[in-house]
């Protein structure tokens, strides 16, 4: 029943936002003093390299021509060349994106699997020890810094117990492996998971705590609605009422936050990636900034921005399923 018009309008919004992001990123190259070429070229670039860069990006042309070249390249999914690493930016990003997605999705799954049942149980047993335990957990989880949590987990479970590797992504034959590789070679799943576990828990803890709290308060509010009494009056099992009706209605705000947070996970896992020497977009971006690798910085910003928009569009899609009125408005 999701109306086509609603989806079309939503898609239109997305396109406009992507265009805005891309344009802002383009304008960033003028935000530093000095000529554009010196901004984009590596510090030690030779005059020949600078000339080549200027030619490739039409940097000596008027602004609108530069912009057109820039947009044209993007439309062809050409993100330019990393003059520091001497590879194409697209390739660099493509090698890092799966790692970032692994981590973000794993952290989200950890959060959803733990937070939603915990929030529901906590709300339905308000003011019992279970509820107090869950609320204390979310309080601690929200206020624990990621780097500290990561280090503690490593100390206890990797160094102490020896259950997990200390850091770094899983590798096979020297190559970093991600979820996609595991699909093709299921025997790697165990290794992949042991490497992913601690970073995912580290990244997911704050998120889990936040979602638990949101789910709890959403469910508490929904439980007071009259329709719950009607459902109870027809003898429905509490589990059906809680998960098929109350939770479903309580999820609307939860899904919003989920979407926003997932967006930040794409680019915001910098600290966790550092602690665990994870090869994701976050560490790529930091390295690129340190190396003054402009084209890579630009590529990261675009991918992170677009990722954010796409995730929010998906969340809106879920919204319309949860709340039929959204699509009717």
Partner 1 sequence: MTDLLRARDLTARFDTEDGRVHAVESVSFTVEAGESFGLVGESGSGKSATALSIAGLLPAAGTITGGSLWFRTPELAATPGEHDVDGEFVDLTTLPANARRSLRGTEIAMVFQDPMSSFDPSATVGSQIAKAVEVQQRASARPRSTRSKTETYGLGSLIRDSLLPTRSFVSESSRERAIELLERVGIPDPARRAEQHPTEFSGGMLQRAMIAQAIAGKPRLLLADEPTTALDVTIQAQILSLLNEIQDDTGLSVVLITHDLGVVAHHSDRVGVMYAGELVERAPIDRLFDAPVHPYTQGLLSAVPDLDTTATPSPSLSGRMTGLHAHELPEGCYFADRCPQAMTDCRAHPEERPVAETDRHSARCVLTDRAFDPDRALEPGAAHEMERDHQ
Return residues touching partner 1 (CB under 8 A).
Answer: 117, 225-227, 229-240, 243-245, 248-249, 322-325
3-class DSSP state of 126: coil
Q: Bridge-partner residues for 87, per DSSP?
A: 82
CB-nearer residue toward partner 1: 160 or 235: 235
3-state helix, strand, coil in the chain (%, to 5): 75, 0, 20
**Closest separation between CB of residue 121 and partner 1, Å?**
10
DSSP state of 168: S
Torsion of CA 45, 51, 56, 60, to 10 degrees: 120
Q: 168 vs 237, which CB is nearer to partner 1?
A: 237
**Which CB atom, from 71 or from 318, has the smaller least distance to partner 1?**
318
Q: What DSSP assignment string belongs to 58-72?
A: TTTS-HHHHHHHHHH
For the CB of residue 317, give the shortest distance to partner 1 in the complex, in Å.
Answer: 16
Shortest Cβ distance from residue 280 to partner 1 (Å)? Answer: 30
Does residue 132 contact residue 256 with C-beta atoms inside 8 Å? no
Distance in Å, CB of 252 to partner 1, minimum: 9
Nearer to partner 1, 171 or 248 (CB): 248
Of the two residues 97 and 223, which places its CB atom closer to partner 1 in the complex?
223
- Say if CB 194 and CB 170 are below 8 A apart: yes
CB of 135 to partner 1, least distance (A): 18
């Amino acid at each position: 029943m999701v109306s086509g018009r609603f989806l079309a309008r939503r898609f239109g919004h997305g396109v406009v936002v992507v265009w805005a992001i891309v344009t802002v990123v383009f304008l960033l190259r003028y935000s530093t003093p000095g000529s554009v070429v010196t901004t984009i070229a590596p510090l030690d670039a030779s005059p020949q390299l600078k000339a080549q860069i200027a030619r490739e990006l039409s940097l000596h042309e008027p602004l609108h021509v530069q912009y057109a070249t820039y947009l044209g390249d993007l439309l062809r999914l050409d993100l330019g060349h990393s003059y520091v690493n001497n590879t194409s930016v697209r390739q660099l990003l493509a090698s890092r994106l799966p790692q970032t997605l692994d981590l973000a999705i794993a952290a989200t799954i950890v959060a959803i699997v733990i937070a939603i049942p915990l929030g529901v149980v906590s709300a339905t047993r308000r003011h019992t020890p279970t509820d107090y335990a869950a609320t204390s957990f979310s309080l601690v989880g929200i206020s624990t810094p990621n780097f500290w949590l990561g280090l503690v987990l490593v100390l206890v479970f990797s160094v102490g117990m020896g259950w997990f590797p200390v850091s770094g992504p899983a590798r096979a034959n020297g190559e970093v492996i991600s979820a996609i590789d595991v699909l093709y070679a299921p025997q790697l799943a165990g290794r992949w998971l042991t490497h992913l576990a601690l970073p995912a828990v580290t990244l997911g803890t704050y998120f889990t705590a936040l979602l638990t709290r949101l789910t709890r308060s959403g469910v508490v509010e929904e439980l007071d609605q009259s329709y719950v009494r009607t459902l109870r009056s027809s003898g429905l099992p509490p589990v059906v009422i809680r998960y098929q009706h109350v939770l479903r209605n309580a999820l609307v705000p939860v899904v919003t936050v989920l979407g926003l947070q997932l967006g930040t996970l794409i680019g915001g896992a910098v600290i966790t990636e550092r602690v665990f020497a994870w090869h994701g977009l976050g560490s790529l971006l930091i390295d690129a900034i340190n190396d003054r690798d402009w084209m890579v910085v630009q590529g990261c910003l675009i991918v992170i921005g677009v990722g954010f928009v796409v995730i929010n569009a998906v969340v809106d899609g879920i919204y319309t399923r949860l709340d039929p009125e959204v699509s009717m408005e």
